[in-house]
Amino acid sequence: MRKLFVLLVLISFSLYADEVVFVGEKAYPTVSEGIKYEGISEMGFGEKQAMETVMKQAFKIGPVRGGMDINVSYDSRGDVPEKKKGFLRIGFVEYNKGITFLRYSPITRATFGYGLLINQYTSYDQRCYYGRLGSPSTNLQFLLTPRELGIVRLRGNIGKSKIGMTLVWDDKANVALGQAKGAYGVDLEMPLHKIGLYATAEWAKLRDYGAGASIGLLFKKAGWEWSNQVLLYGDKFVPSYYDPYYEVSPANLNTEKREGIFSQLSKRFLQNKMIACAAFRQNIGEMPSLLLQLGGQPLEKFGFTATLDVKNYKWQGMETIKNSNSMLEVKGIYNLNPNVDLVLCYNKTWFEDRGTRSDAEYFFLRAVFKSK
């Protein structure tokens, strides 16, 4: 039986490690040599109904593989939008052989070190150049986006300790709006005991702005992973500056010196078929944030993910989520037969817009057809 899509690719459960996940990582049928195809029909419901059909052509020849999309979209009236009558675009191209890995595709998320500088960065639809030379534990990585955001990362070992160094530049950042044109940082992980206890530290500096640091403990044993950090931020420093919102709305760096804590706990269970994660962040003088995630594949033909992300958290009973900047998302996938998967997604977001509380929601049903 063909396995379901790896649902954990869709959410971030890894506590700490360099992690780069690509759009299309599991979306193209390229497991075997030759040319394959995949067809997706999707119906969306919300403020505007729409239907979309995508054909994904893919190939794999030795160490090279790639894919492309043929897309046609319709709105609720059945009309084809002028800009989406149909287009062909490269989904990804990849070379993977020995110690060399090269990829051209959008980035779903990228996290380096312990996330103090780069945490869950996404390129959205921008196709990026990514490369890794070396082994998973000792390597040189680079990432370059079309708008010239660049990241170079060097990772290695000193004895039993792991050390990483990161350099970022963004020459198109708008200094007049308080955006940093680059950054650099270093991170360290050192084992303390054979039971799975580690000391962690990370320091980062935003070019022409402030610096920040984190010191913490990390525990990994028998499916449990726990991290607790003390966070120290200088003036004009924002943690995780390169985050999922960086490409659309970079954080305001006009901040004051402050301290905080970050704690995260995850547990794998059902023979690693399921994983649960909870994360809490609190900076002195600011509202805390809370993240809860659950996902996996409990049954052979069914898997799911559920995420609740609450910003400006303050317990107010059942009204807590509505009165915070929150997002609830649930995705389920069912393997109908070896060639067809059904995917259902529901998302609701509560947010504040110019002082007024608002909410938005949508869901879609997707059928995925694949050749063998």
- Report phi then psi at 182, rounded to 5: 165, 180
Q: What is the rounded CA–CA span in Å between residue 337 and residue 354?
A: 48
Over the stretch 191-203, which tens digit does the pLDDT of each residue have?
997 788 999 999 9
Q: What is the rounded CA–CA span in Å between residue 316 and residue 17?
A: 35
Q: Which residues of the chain have pLDDT under 70?
A: 1-17, 23-56, 71-88, 315-324, 353-355, 370-372
- Amino acid letter at 294? L
Burial of 372 (C-beta count, 10 Å sphere; 0-12/13-18/19+): exposed
Q: What is the rounded CA–CA span in Å between residue 14 and residue 209?
A: 29
86, HSE (Cβ side, Cα atoms, 13 Å): 2
pLDDT given for residue 1 in this prediction: 39
Q: What is the rounded CA–CA span in Å between residue 110 and residue 127?
A: 14
User: Tokens at residue 25, please?
Assistant: 């990582």
Over the stretch 45-79, which tens digit does the pLDDT of each residue have?
555 555 666 666 777 888 888 877 776 665 555 44
| Domains of the chain and CATH, by start | 7-23+106-370 (2.40.160), 24-97 (3.30.1300)
The answer to whether the CB of 216 falls within 8 A of the CB of 229 is yes
Task: Tell me which H or E stretch contains 59.
Answer: strand 50-61
pLDDT given for residue 338 in this prediction: 78
Looking at the DSSP assignment, which residues form a beta bridge with residue 199? 190, 217
User: Mind giving me the DSSP string for 2-48?
Assistant: PPPP-GGGGS----SS-EEEETTTTTS--SSSEEEEEEEEEEEESSS
Burial of 239 (C-beta count, 10 Å sphere; 0-12/13-18/19+): buried
Q: What DSSP designation does 176 have?
A: G
